[in-house]
Structure 1
Amino acid sequence: MSDPIIRSLLDTDLYKLTMQQVVLHQFPGVQAEYQFRCRNTPAFPMAELLPAVNRQLDALCELRFTPDEIAYLRSLRYLKPDYVDYLELFHLNRRFISVTPRADGRLDIHARGPMVQAMMFEIYVLAIVNELYFDELIRRQGIAGGHEATLEEGRRRIGAKVDKIRAFQTSLPANAPPLLLADFGTRRRFSRDWLEEVVKVLHAGVPDVFRGTSNMDLARRLGLTPIGTMAHEFLQAFQALDVNLRQFQKAALESWVQEYRGDLGIALTDVVGMDAFLADFDLYFAKLFDGLRHDSGDPVVWGEKMIEHYHKLRIDPATKMLTFSDSLDIDRAIALYGHFATRTQVSFGIGTNLTNDLGIEPLQIVMKLVRCNDRPVAKLSDTANKLMCDDPVFLAYLRQIFNLERI
């Protein structure tokens, strides 16, 4: 077998661990199913990668957290001692994930089992599929200079981004709010080594702007701040737990508050659309959470709605953080900074455009929660092509409950 792509269980996003801790503490017996999807058309049938994907998954399931990694996790105050004890014993069980070819040449990947297990496959699977795909694509295309020429183009592009950020910093007045960028690109990276190179370039080139990375392994080894709180799957799970469906967002937010008691206070808004979220995000939650994360729909419309909502609740938006993370590039981040930074705190999590911008079309791959306790769940984002649900009856019911006919 070729070298393992995933060499550390910390090679994942922080929010997988923060969500897993809540699941372990508050609903450890929940069963879950995650489904892989590619939203664009690959350059060749991805089912041809199946043997290599299976070999990589075999290697992944042999990994354990090392003593140094456990010591690092114990240093993070929001991770509870008993949860880190659990991670010291943790490993992924191979029987909970399957990979099969589809008739259309795509890959069918499902993780099924206890949620504390199944939820952890996502980031590893996406990183594995990406790296195998791009290695094979470069080989097939016969690109002059091959892999190294592709990396050189990537270096040229990330260098231009650093220059653009520096020029924008120079143009700001001395008392301007800071421009804050973080790497959110683990799941969409070109390769493990390229992600590390990009993060090092940003950290060295714009240290006052680059605030950290979602990747726990890089955060530990490079002394960076790990960034992340929750993803859609956390709120989606409550659609299938023993709570009134109309109240699932409030139940999820309350669960988070009880677990973290003021830490990790950025909430995600688009599991059933921004308007439905704001109907549940009352004064209680608006005061308890530090801010919100945008991940679908028009970011300017979203930000304006959020500022208006804070004003209605008589909360100063300048005391809150709006984090933008949907398909961003440097130009878009700078434009959003210019629009909002004088009225509220802003930060930007950039993924694909940082870690997979090398002149080859990136894959748009996801692995999302589709069932919980054998009941369907749905993600109804403010962007139509991000909808994820395998049960049209439940989807119709959810739309009715939240008055979401237009989504």
Structure 2
Amino acid sequence: MIVTSLLDTDLYKFSMMQVVLHHYPAAQVEYKFKCRNPGVDLVPYIAEIREELAGLCSLRFTPEELEYLRGWRFIKSDFVDFLALFQLNAKYVEIYPAQDGPGEIEIRIRGPWLHTILFEVPLLAIVNEVYFRNTQRGLDLSEGRRRLREKIALLRDTEGFHDCRIADYGTRRRFSRAWHEEVATTLRDGLGRQLAGTSNVWLAWKLGLTPLGTLAHEYLQAHQALGPRLRDSQVAALETWAREYRGDLGIALSDVYGLSAFLRDFDMYFCKLFDGTRHDSGDPFAWGERVLAHYRANRVDPSTKVLVFSDGLDIPKVMRLYQHFHGRCQLAFGVGTNLTNDVGPEPLQIVIKMIRCNGQPVAKISDTPGKNMCEDSAYVTYLRQVFEIPADPEAVPC
């Protein structure tokens, strides 16, 4: 089995799941898989992916895992009690050849949000590992180890970057589970305090690292169907999060409707309430400058706030961003694919995104058009009107 523990996922899945349990236990959702690499044939591996899915759905949280979760300051006892009874169910997942093009596959996840939210990350890890163990049999990982050593040395040994810290965000696109563990172990031993932690809860538990994460796009997208009127959905999502965590896990994601729409909603109250914001699309330097200016305009000292960068980072880009913003605010960097799938072959660019909630379409309109994903173009047009988002002539149709 590829995934052997339900902890082998990203922390923000648990933080969002707790909110779903307490506030939206009846919500129904739909997720869709997409591979952005052209010409990748995944159809031959459908049976193998289904077999791994069955293994995933056989897992339960162990008493030791539950005790670990219970020790987190922001996890509530009733949520851990729920997880003690929890098990993923394959009836919510369909995997079949797509109609769109040769080699493409459909993965659809439909069901209660509370019972489907944990599918995304392990399913993506399964698709990755099934694909690479079939197409790269016996791959010599010495090249991956060489590249990893160079990255560690660059960050560790360059003068002026001793306070620059990175985190592993690479679960969903890793080459394999074993390689992910080796990468995290090597980073821990090679970087010391410069490794802030990992988004992967199982590795954090096993290797004694700090688990990191807050919320993802799906949380804000779902509020398009869960909130009051659509225009207030982003505010409703942030307010519900604040009610649940009372000041903990205070990093807001800024790109579900683009930065301009986010900043219109992220007023002085939210500027003071949340610890910082996360970048995940668009030019990170321009984004950071606008966010810092927004804090100043709302009479908040930017040096007390965190900017989290997590969009397609590698170590040189981390260092450029650190050099640009260091001393002006607090900084955090989440590096994903470039750490956990940089071994030689081209990584898969695969995602699973929420596309419906309670029967209604949901979408994000990020600052990188290629990241948009929705099956209802009329809804996207309406969403743009509601949030005053100008149409992008280069946007990829959803």
Task: Give the TM interval when normalised to the shorter protein.
Answer: over 0.9
Q: How far does residue 242 in structure 1 lie from its aligned partner after superposition?
A: 4.1
Partner of 2:367: helix, strand, or coil?
coil
Residue type at the aligned position of 1:123: V
CA distance in 2, matches of 1:359, 1:242: 45
CA distance in 1, matches of 2:125, 2:276: 29
Match of 1:13 in 2: 10
Change in CA separation of 1:263 and 1:42 when aligned onto 2, cut-off 3 Å: farther
Aligned residue among 244, 265, 269 for 1:284:
269
CA distance in 2, matches of 1:74, 1:351: 27
Partner deviation per Cα, 1:380-402 (whole Å, 9 max, x = no partner) = 11001000111111111000111
Partner of 1:98: helix, strand, or coil?
strand
CA distance in 2, matches of 1:354, 1:9: 22
Q: How far does residue 405 in structure 1 lie from its aligned partner after superposition?
A: 2.2
Match runs of 1:134-153 below 5 Å: 134-139=132-137, 146-147=138-139, 149=140, 151-153=141-143
CA distance in 1, matches of 2:265, 2:147: 42
Partner of 2:226: helix, strand, or coil?
coil
Q: Aligned pair 1:237/2:227, yes or no?
A: no
Match of 1:48 in 2: 44
Partner of 2:300: helix, strand, or coil?
coil
Match of 2:76 in 1: 80
Partner of 1:379: helix, strand, or coil?
coil
Counterpart contact for 2:170–2:337, Cα < 8 Å: yes
CA distance in 2, matches of 1:326, 1:210: 18
CA distance in 2, matches of 1:357, 1:348: 18
Match runs of 1:208-219 below 5 Å: 208-219=193-204
Match runs of 1:300-339 below 5 Å: 300-339=285-324
Q: Aligned pair 1:166/2:156, yes or no?
A: yes
Counterpart contact for 2:162–2:194, Cα < 8 Å: no
Partner deviation per Cα, 1:147-182 (whole Å, 9 max, x = no partner) = 2x1x111101101101101122xx12xxx8821200
Counterpart contact for 1:34–1:119, Cα < 8 Å: no
Q: Aligned pair 1:94/2:90, yes or no?
A: yes
Unaligned runs of 5+ in 1: 140-145
Partner of 2:379: helix, strand, or coil?
helix
CA distance in 1, matches of 2:135, 2:128: 10
Aligned residue among 51, 62, 65 for 2:61:
65
Residue type at the aligned position of 1:273: G
Match runs of 1:339-378 below 5 Å: 339-378=324-363
Q: How far does residue 342 in structure 1 lie from its aligned partner after superposition?
A: 1.6
Q: How far does residue 222 in structure 1 lie from its aligned partner after superposition?
A: 0.9
CA distance in 2, matches of 1:250, 1:78: 22
Partner of 1:110: helix, strand, or coil?
strand
Partner deviation per Cα, 1:294-335 (whole Å, 9 max, x = no partner) = 000000000000000001001110000000000000000000
Change in CA separation of 1:62 and 1:264 when aligned onto 2, cut-off 3 Å: same
CA distance in 1, matches of 2:37, 2:182: 26
Match runs of 1:373-392 below 5 Å: 373-392=358-377
Counterpart contact for 2:156–2:162, Cα < 8 Å: no
Aligned residue among 121, 124, 138 for 1:123:
121
Partner of 1:240: helix, strand, or coil?
helix
CA distance in 2, matches of 1:261, 1:26: 15
Partner deviation per Cα, 1:4-53 (whole Å, 9 max, x = no partner) = 1010000000000000000110010000000000111254x101110000
CA distance in 2, matches of 1:306, 1:406: 22
Change in CA separation of 1:405 and 1:248 when aligned onto 2, cut-off 3 Å: same
Partner of 2:346: helix, strand, or coil?
coil
Residue type at the aligned position of 1:77: R
Counterpart contact for 2:168–2:184, Cα < 8 Å: yes
Partner of 2:240: helix, strand, or coil?
helix
CA distance in 1, matches of 2:135, 2:50: 19
Partner of 1:188: helix, strand, or coil?
coil
Match of 1:143 in 2: none
Match of 1:266 in 2: 251
Partner of 1:34: helix, strand, or coil?
strand
Match of 1:142 in 2: none
Match of 1:112 in 2: 110
CA distance in 2, matches of 1:324, 1:239: 25
Provide the aligned C-alpha RMSD in A: 1.0
Counterpart contact for 1:177–1:342, Cα < 8 Å: no
Match of 2:31 in 1: 34
Residue type at the aligned position of 2:180: L
CA distance in 2, matches of 1:241, 1:265: 21
Q: How far does residue 137 in structure 1 lie from its aligned partner after superposition?
A: 1.2
Counterpart contact for 1:177–1:341, Cα < 8 Å: no
Partner deviation per Cα, 1:248-279 (whole Å, 9 max, x = no partner) = 10000000000000110111000010100000
Match of 1:24 in 2: 21
CA distance in 1, matches of 2:370, 2:328: 31
Between the two proteins, what is the percent identity of the paired residues? 54
CA distance in 1, matches of 2:135, 2:315: 27
CA distance in 2, matches of 1:34, 1:377: 10
Residue type at the aligned position of 2:115: Q
Counterpart contact for 1:126–1:367, Cα < 8 Å: yes
Q: Aligned pair 1:205/2:205, yes or no?
A: no
Residue type at the aligned position of 2:203: L
Aligned residue among 145, 164, 167 for 1:155:
145
Change in CA separation of 1:290 and 1:177 when aligned onto 2, cut-off 3 Å: farther
Counterpart contact for 1:310–1:316, Cα < 8 Å: yes
Residue type at the aligned position of 2:169: F
Unaligned runs of 5+ in 2: 393-398
CA distance in 1, matches of 2:39, 2:77: 43
